[in-house]
């Protein structure tokens, strides 16, 4: 099926809108990577975080992602008046629970990526992990799940309203827009994430996720699915 020109116009507009946040995010992630590899005095701090992650495993991913992906962005949006009146608690529960679950999913993905491809940082290993992350994982899981649940939230947690407001055409446009925007942001970011030791990958993922979410709250008019 050929995509209509309007889909490409929507994608183009989204890419233009998110280009500055994407660039800022890449600089931020690169700075974290530079601190790890270039500042020896900070290495014990990074190692302590890695040891904590190793000691508690997936629990670390669940709790930290619920905080960095959910709690902090929710608090900023609430402070900036981005949450509809009377919906703060529902949004709080949504963000914290959604990102707690996604933290477990991403941690599982990273664990299996290490099993499948090892923990090396050569080009073949990093590129292979990036392809799995950004193609099957994003295309089949991350993008459609984010589209559905953020759409449900934006419809005031009503599936009936979601079905009413989202025709097949709108869903296709939204899916394509989110996916291309995600690739622009996360393809470089996950290459940097996978460059770190396995126990530091979730912490960097969380920092990038949180930072990008916060940037978007300042450059967009409404919180949308990422």
pLDDT digits (tens, 9 = 90+) for 156-208: 999 999 999 999 988 998 898 889 888 988 999 999 999 999 999 999 999 98
Question: Which range (14-23, 130-139, 163-172, 215-224) has the least confidence?
Answer: 215-224
224 in any annotated domain: no
226 in any annotated domain: no
Give the number of domains in the chain: 1
Average pLDDT, the chain: 89
pTM for this entry:
0.88
225 in any annotated domain: no
- Residue with the bigger pLDDT between 178 and 105: it is 105
Inter-residue contact 210 to 30 (CB < 8 Å): no
Range of the domain at 172: 5-219
In the three-class reduction of DSSP (H, G, I as helix; E, B as strand; rest coil), residue 80 is classed as coil
115 in any annotated domain: yes
* Cα atoms found within 13 Å of the Cα of residue 1, Cβ hemisphere only: 5
Return the number of other C-beta atoms located less than 10 Å from residue 186's C-beta: 23
Output the six-digit token pair for 142. 């991350």
Q: What is the pLDDT of residue 226?
A: 41
């Amino acid at each position: 099926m050929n995509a209509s020109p309007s889909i490409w116009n929507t994608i183009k507009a989204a890419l233009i809108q998110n280009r500055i946040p994407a660039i800022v995010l890449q600089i931020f992630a690169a700075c974290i990577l530079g601190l790890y590899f270039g500042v020896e005095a900070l290495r014990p701090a990074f190692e302590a975080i890695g040891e904590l992650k190793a000691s508690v495993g997936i629990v670390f991913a669940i709790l930290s992602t619920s905080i960095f992906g959910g709690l902090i962005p929710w608090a900023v949006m609430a402070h900036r008046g981005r949450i509809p009146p009377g919906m703060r608690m529902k949004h709080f529960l949504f963000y914290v629970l959604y990102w707690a679950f996604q933290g477990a999913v991403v941690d599982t993905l990273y664990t299996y990526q290490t099993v499948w491809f090892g923990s090396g940082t050569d080009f073949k290993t990093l590129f292979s992990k990036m392809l799995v992350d950004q193609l099957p994982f994003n295309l089949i899981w991350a993008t459609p799940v984010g589209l559905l649940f953020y759409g449900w939230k934006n419809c005031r947690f009503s599936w009936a309203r979601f079905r009413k407001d989202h025709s097949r055409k709108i869903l296709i446009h939204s899916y394509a827009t989110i996916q291309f925007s995600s690739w622009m942001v996360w393809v470089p970011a996950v290459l940097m994430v996978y460059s770190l030791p396995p126990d530091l990958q979730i912490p960097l993922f969380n920092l990038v996720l949180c930072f990008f979410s916060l940037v978007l709250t300042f450059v967009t008019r409404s919180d949308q699915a990422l």
